[in-house]
Amino acid sequence: MTGETSIARRLLTASLLVVLVAGAALLVRGQVPCEVLAAQPACQVALQPGPIEDTLGLITVSGTEVFPPTDGSLHLTTVAVQDDLGLTGWIGARTSPSVEVVPREQVYPPGFDRDEVAEINAAAMRDSQLVATIVVLESLGYELHPQGALVVAVQADAVTDELGVDDVIVAVDGDPVRESTEVVEAVQARSVGDRLDLQVRDASGTRTVQVVLGRNPDDPEVPYVGVLLTTDLDLPIDIEVDAGAIGGPSAGMVFALSLLELLEPGDLIDGRIIAGTGTLSRDGSVGGVGGVPQKVAGASAPANGSMSAEVFLVPWDNLDDAREAAVASDLLLVPVGTLDEAVAALEALREGREPAGSLLLAAS
C-alpha cells in the first residue's frame, strides 16, 4: 500500500486497492489516542496476501470472435486488510514476513467511512477496466468515439453541488473534451482558486457549471474538484467484467493482457500461470501500486486452491518492493513499464528467451 496512500482525493484518483475488510476496530476506553501513540492495534491495520483471480475467467466478450487459451491463466493479485487487530493479532502481524502493518488512516482516511471507500474502490476498478479496454481496442484497430467525461461519484467535500452522478463533462472553458483524462489534465494545468467553466450534458440537455478549484486535502498546492470520472463511451463490442468485491485501479495491466489474449489469435501466455499488478494509463504506461510484497507472496502460494504463479509482472517502480517478498515457491519477477513491454516479455518467454530485466525470486 505504500505506493497508494492517497484515496480518491484528487480528480479521477482512486488509489486504494484493498477491498477485503474484516470487522471494525475502534478506539476503546483507556487506550492512548493515535496522535499520541500511533503504534497500537486500534491505530493500525494489517495488509496481508489476498486471493488471486484468473482474470480470463472474469471477462465475457460478445459481438466478436474470441480465442481463449487452452491452458494457463492470467492472475490479478489482491491485498487483504485485517482491521480488527487484537493485541495478539497485532503482534503476530508485525512479526510475519508476508504481512505489513500500516496506519489505519492509510486505508481509511479521516472523513471517509467504509461505504465511501467501497464506492471509490468500485469506481476506480470500473475506470481501470475501461482504460484497459480502450487501449487494447485501439491497438487492434477499432475506431472509438468517446463522448466526454462521465461523473461516476461525487465526494462529500466536492467544490460544487452542481455536478452529479451521470453528468457528462463535454468541455472545459470552451475547449471540447472527449475523455476523462483531458478533464484531469485541464484541472492539473490550473491553480488553486482558479475558476473553470464546465459544459455539462445530462438527460435534459447541456448547461454550464462554474467551479472554483479547491485545495487537495492531501496536498494543498494541488487543485481539487472532488469528483470521480471515467470516459463516456459506447464500445463496438460488448465486454463485461465480473470482478466481484475487488476494487481499485491496480489490475489495469492484467485486464489489458487478458483482453489481448482473448481477442487475438495465438497464445500469449503459452500455457503458463502468469500473475501481475500495475495500473494502466491511457498512453499504455504501467504505473506503480501498493501492497506489492503481499501480492507477490500471494501469487506464490494462493489461498484459494489455484496453482502457484510461475511469472510475476511488476511495475518497474515496484521492483525493489517485489524483491523483498517472502515467496513459497520460485517466482520469476519481470519488471515492465508499459503494456507493450509486458507483451514483449510474454513473447520472450514463449520463444524461450529471458525477458529484459527479469530475475528469479527463490522460495524462502
Find, among 196, 154, 150, 191, the residue nearest to 170 by Cα: 150
In a shared domain, residues 252 and 119: yes
Residues of the chain with pLDDT under 70: 1-39
Residues 269 and 242 in one domain: yes
Give the per-residue pLDDT at 25: 29
What pLDDT, on a 0 to 100 scale, did the predictor assign at position 5? 34
Percent of the chain with pLDDT over 90: 66
pLDDT score for 31:
54
Helix axes 114-139, 252-263, angle to 10 degrees: 40
Residues 264 and 340 in one domain: yes
Pair 255, 195 in one domain: no
Quote the Cα angle for 110-12-145, to 5°: 160
Mean pLDDT rounded to a whole number for the chain: 86
Residue 296 domain-assigned (yes or no) = yes
Residue 300 lies in a domain: yes
pLDDT in the model for residue 37: 58
Query: Do 191 and 335 belong to one domain?
Result: no
Query: Could you report the per-residue pLDDT of 68-108, keeping only the tens digit for each?
Result: 999 999 999 999 988 888 888 888 888 888 899 988 888 87
Q: What is the pLDDT of residue 222?
A: 93
Task: Identify whether residues 211 and 283 lie together within a single domain.
Answer: no
Asked whether residue 211 is assigned to any structural domain, the reply reads yes
pLDDT tens per residue, range 281-313: 999 999 999 999 999 999 998 877 778 999 999
Is the residue at 124 inside a domain? Answer: yes
Q: Is residue 319 part of a domain?
A: yes
Query: Same domain for 204 and 247?
Result: no
Cell triple for 358: 527479469
CA dihedral 272, 62, 57, 270 (to 10 degrees): 0
For residues 224 and 317, membership in a common domain is answered with no
Whether residues 158 and 297 fall in one domain: no
Residues 280 and 348 grouped into a single domain: yes
Phi, psi of 275 (to 5 degrees): -120, 165
Do 194 and 249 share a domain, yes or no?
no
214 located within any domain: yes
Identify whether 118 is part of a domain. yes
209, exposed or middle or buried, with CB in 10 Å at 0-12, 13-18, 19+? middle
**The whole model's pTM is what?**
0.83
Q: What's the sign of the alpha-carbon dihedral 10, 180, 244, 279?
A: negative
What is the residue range of 253's domain? 50-77+112-138+237-361
What is the structure's pLDDT at 329? 94
CATH of the domain at 207: 2.30.42.10
Which residues touch 305 (CB under 8 Å, ≥6 apart)?
A: none
**What is the tally of structural domains in the chain?**
2
Output the CA–CA distances (angstroms, integers) from residue 109 to 35, 185, 196, 273, 323, in the order listed.
Answer: 14, 25, 28, 36, 29
Domain edge (last residue) among 192, 211, 231: 231
Domain boundary among 205, 231, 257: 231
In a shared domain, residues 57 and 171: no
Q: Are 274 and 313 in contact (CB under 8 A)?
A: yes
Q: Which of 172, 197, 231 is the last residue of a domain?
A: 231
Number of Cβ within 10 Å of residue 284's Cβ equals 19
> Residue 105's pLDDT is what?
83
Classify residue 86: in a domain, yes or no. no
